[in-house]
């Protein structure tokens, strides 16, 4: 919190940069009627069609949109079953090119067979061993056998990394609490925890807008003692807006809730990317008090400094041409949509 017009850089604690091109995609063959069919008809159709060039420009646009909203660190969770090897380098390079920090992982899952599972595991290992920052990624317990889940936890333990995994996002993952109870560690990142039935070790990434979008219910993150951070789950990286939605949902559930809780969740992102605390965002509004920001629309960054370098000046990125990024992203979106 700050009383002036500056804050540290904001953190998006759970993103899917590969979904940035999804806006405007062709409608699914039939209307999804629950969370499982949303995954099958929308997201799993999309991720299977991705190649490395689409991933690059999807990540470039996502990173640009993050920077334009004062978000200097993205904790990404990636899936592209037909372009796995090297995909995490492409995402990390895109974030670096724009000037935002990244933490990457590849989602290990059994939904594309044993070969796909092993390739996902290998991409996490390759990326982290080559010095990349991030987690070992896992989709969710309901698409992982016991052996696959243990392989994920084992690799993370061997590499001294945490696991970034979806937990109880919808009812179809209700068994996750019991399966993760003995595996989860303090350095794990648990996305959603909407239907979680017991405490687990790790940081919780709360994604209030996405949870509404998928009609999975309210996660009630205030019920846990864990550190809570805010994520977008792939719907942009406007973390001030996510804070405002987090507050509104908290208040809807508990009329005594104040914006200070949602603000503390926004600051929970520094547990994941501490370096973002050293970044500086100068905003168009002051004071940057949670009680003001929860009720003030349109607050925008004027200048952003990451690692000592001005990467946004007068609201415009300094490292990339935003028009070119948007043009290239639109070209890749057209290629992608033609495959769906």
Binding site for Zn ion (CB under 5 A): 233
Q: Is 20 helix (H, G, I), strand (E, B) or coil?
A: helix
- Counting Cα atoms < 13 Å in the Cβ hemisphere of 23 gives 10
Helices 239-253/259-267 angle, 10° precision: 140
Residue placing its CB nearer to Zn ion in the complex, 68 or 233 = 233
CA quadruple 68, 74, 80, 86: dihedral sign: positive
For Zn ion, the closer of residues 47 and 233 by Cβ is 233
**For Zn ion, the closer CB: 234 or 317:** 234
Residue 146, Cβ density class (10 Å: 0-12 exposed, 13-18 middle, ≥19 buried): exposed
Alpha helices, DSSP H, located in 160-195: 176-180
Which residues, at least 6 apart from 161, have a Cβ–Cβ distance to it below 8 Å?
Answer: 128, 134, 135, 136, 187
Closest distance between Zn ion and the C-beta of residue 216, in Å? 11
Residue nearest to Zn ion (CB): 233
Measured from the CB of residue 35, what is the shortest distance to Zn ion in angstroms?
12
Instruction: Give 123 or 233: the residue with its C-beta nearer to Zn ion.
Output: 233
Burial grade of 209 (CB within 10 A; 0-12, 13-18, 19 or more): buried
Q: Quick one: 119 exposed, middle or buried, by C-beta within 10 A (0-12, 13-18, 19+)?
A: middle
- Smallest distance from the beta carbon of 137 to Zn ion, in angstroms? 10
Closer CB to Zn ion, 99 or 234, in the complex: 234
* 8 vs 231, beta carbon nearer Zn ion: 231
State in angstroms the smallest separation of the CB of 44 from Zn ion. Answer: 13
Strands 309-313 and 316-317, sheet pairing? antiparallel
State the nearest-atom distance from the C-beta of 11 to Zn ion, in Å: 15
Alpha carbons 214 and 26: distance in angstroms, whole number: 18
Residue placing its CB nearer to Zn ion in the complex, 233 or 242: 233
Instruction: Report which DSSP code applies to 229.
Output: E
- How far apart are CB 296 and Zn ion at their closest, in Å? 28
* Smallest distance from Zn ion to CB 76, Å: 10
Length of the chain: 340
Whichever of 214 and 280 has its CB closer to Zn ion, that residue is 214
Whole-angstrom distance, CA of residue 7 vs CA of residue 283? 8
Q: Which is nearer to Zn ion, 232 or 280 (CB)?
A: 232
Helix (H) or strand (E) holding 139: strand 136-140
CB of 312 to Zn ion, least distance (A): 26
CB of 274 to Zn ion, least distance (A): 22
Angstrom CA distances, 262 to 156, 206, 242, 268, 311, stand at 30, 10, 9, 10, 27
């Amino acid at each position: 919190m700050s009383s002036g017009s500056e804050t540290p850089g904001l953190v998006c604690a759970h993103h899917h940069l590969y979904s940035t091109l999804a806006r405007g995609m062709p409608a699914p063959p039939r209307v999804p009627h629950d969370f499982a069919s949303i995954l099958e008809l929308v997201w799993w159709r999309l991720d299977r069609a991705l190649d490395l060039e689409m991933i690059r420009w999807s990540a470039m646009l996502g990173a640009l949109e993050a920077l334009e909203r004062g978000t200097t660190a993205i904790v990404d969770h990636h899936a592209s079953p037909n372009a796995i090897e090297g995909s995490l380098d492409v995402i990390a390079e895109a974030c670096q090119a724009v000037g935002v920090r990244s933490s990457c992982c590849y989602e290990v899952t059994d939904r594309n067979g044993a070969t796909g599972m092993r390739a996902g595991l290998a991409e996490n290992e390759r990326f982290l061993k080559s010095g990349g920052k991030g987690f070992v990624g896992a989709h969710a317990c309901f698409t992982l056998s016991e052996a696959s889940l243990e392989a994920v936890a084992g690799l993370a333990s061997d590499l001294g990394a945490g696991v970034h995994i979806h937990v109880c996002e919808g009812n179809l993952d209700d068994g996750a609490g019991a399966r993760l109870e003995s595996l989860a560690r303090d350095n794990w990142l648990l996305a959603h925890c909407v239907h979680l039935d017991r405490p687990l070790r790790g940081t919780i990434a709360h994604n209030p807008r996405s949870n509404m979008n998928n009609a999975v219910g309210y996660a009630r993150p205030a019920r846990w003692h864990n550190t809570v951070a805010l994520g977008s789950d792939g719907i942009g990286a406007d973390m001030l807006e996510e804070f405002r939605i987090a507050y509104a949902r908290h208040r809807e559930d508990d009329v005594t809730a104040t914006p200070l809780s949602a603000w503390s969740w926004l600051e929970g992102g520094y547990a994941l990317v501490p370096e973002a605390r050293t970044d500086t965002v100068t905003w168009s509004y002051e004071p940057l008090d949670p009680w003001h920001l929860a009720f003030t629309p349109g607050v925008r960054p004027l200048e952003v400094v990451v690692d000592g370098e001005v990467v946004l000046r007068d609201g415009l990125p300094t490292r990339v041409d935003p028009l070119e990024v948007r043009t290239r992203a639109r070209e890749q979106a057209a290629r992608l949509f033609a495959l769906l």
